[in-house]
Structure 1
């Protein structure tokens, strides 16, 4: 297969943006483009394309991935999205992902377990599950992580949050009651558990 340069645009600071076959976009330094004799309408063989994508751009994508992870741990999905935003082509991103996964710089299981340990005191099991899904972690990894790391008593969590907010079911009006209920629902707690704890806290107050 041959690849034709259908767009060639100068970006400044010694960089250019290219598009091959009207669909594959990436950026190069001008010297790299010159080394492959790339300009408008020029062609690449399959061998040249693979060399460019993996040995040049792939290595740069890997370095970029490492730089991103040095600043903040990310899930595989988050890292992919960041590299896409940086303009790397899919094949080069795969090279970077393979590298960081091989050396465990990206590990979704480790990420999920750490996230659960850190947040479980203030979030329900369901909220943690949804938060991790939004970060692109697979359901299997989340389920395993919750089974191994989630030990919180959700009703006790609700009680702790109610006390921290200074809420009293005995003195609260309908608006305050609804506000606390909605706050706890947003944390992912079940309505039945919220109501049970509120009733219990009211009864406990009356028994004092």
Structure 2
């Protein structure tokens, strides 16, 4: 396989592109060890060694590191690893490895998110948040049914009190401002209008 390009990146890394369409990121010490430079040949054996000895273990380690900081959905983890320059094949191997240990659980992650934010966001807003994180609609509905225990009218009253909103003294501008605030929390127009009138 011919190395078609070697593009230097930050932190002493470089993206190596091969004539078969494959590309990967190595540190300077690693690509120098294999004699990788533009126009040079990379044997099949060297390529396999780079995959099995460097890229796959590094991707697994990176995935574990990302999960160490916070729960992530599988989609979010895939996106983060892809940003790191890993190919989809390597990411699949790392995700399978992580799944074997039960470290990715979209339902657990969704339940944690709902419990944390249910005191400040509507059911609809939580649903949108979780869809944005790549959680499936089925899991979201199940988790919301199990975990979302807040009465939205009570929640709006609590948020209005926190914002020191007084219906009697509120100006038209105050009402518009609080309306936008509640809408940003995912409450419907009907629910907001009932609370503000």
Q: What TM-score do the two structures reach when normalised by structure 1?
A: 0.82
Matched, 1:161 2:151: no
1:66, CA displacement in angstroms?
A: 1.1
Partner of 2:79: 81
Partner of 1:173: 171
Partner of 1:183: 181
In 2, Cα distance between equivalents of 1:148 and 1:81: 28
Partner of 1:17: 15
1:109, CA displacement in angstroms?
A: 0.9
In 2, Cα distance between equivalents of 1:37 and 1:111: 43
Partner of 1:206: none
1:29, CA displacement in angstroms?
A: 4.6
In 2, Cα distance between equivalents of 1:35 and 1:146: 52
Partner of 1:64: 62
1:4, CA displacement in angstroms?
A: 3.3
Partner of 1:203: none
1:177, CA displacement in angstroms?
A: 0.9
State the SS of the aligned residue for 2:170: coil
1:32, CA displacement in angstroms?
A: 5.0
State the SS of the aligned residue for 2:15: strand
Q: Against the structure 1 CA distance between its residues 24 and 191, is the aligned structure 2 distance closer, same or farther, given a 3 Å change threshold?
A: same
Partner of 1:100: 98
In 1, Cα distance between equivalents of 2:140 and 2:88: 26
1:186, CA displacement in angstroms?
A: 0.8
Correspondence for 1:127 among 112, 125, 128: 125
Aligned length: 196
1:156, CA displacement in angstroms?
A: 0.8
Q: Against the structure 1 CA distance between its residues 43 and 182, is the aligned structure 2 distance closer, same or farther, given a 3 Å change threshold?
A: same
Matched, 1:110 2:108: yes
Correspondence for 1:193 among 180, 186, 191: 191
Tell me how large the CA RMSD over aligned residues is: 2.5
In 2, Cα distance between equivalents of 1:156 and 1:9: 57
Q: Which runs of 5+ in 1 are unaligned?
A: 200-208
Contact preservation (8 Å) 1:6, 1:22: no
Moved more, 30-39 or 170-179: 30-39
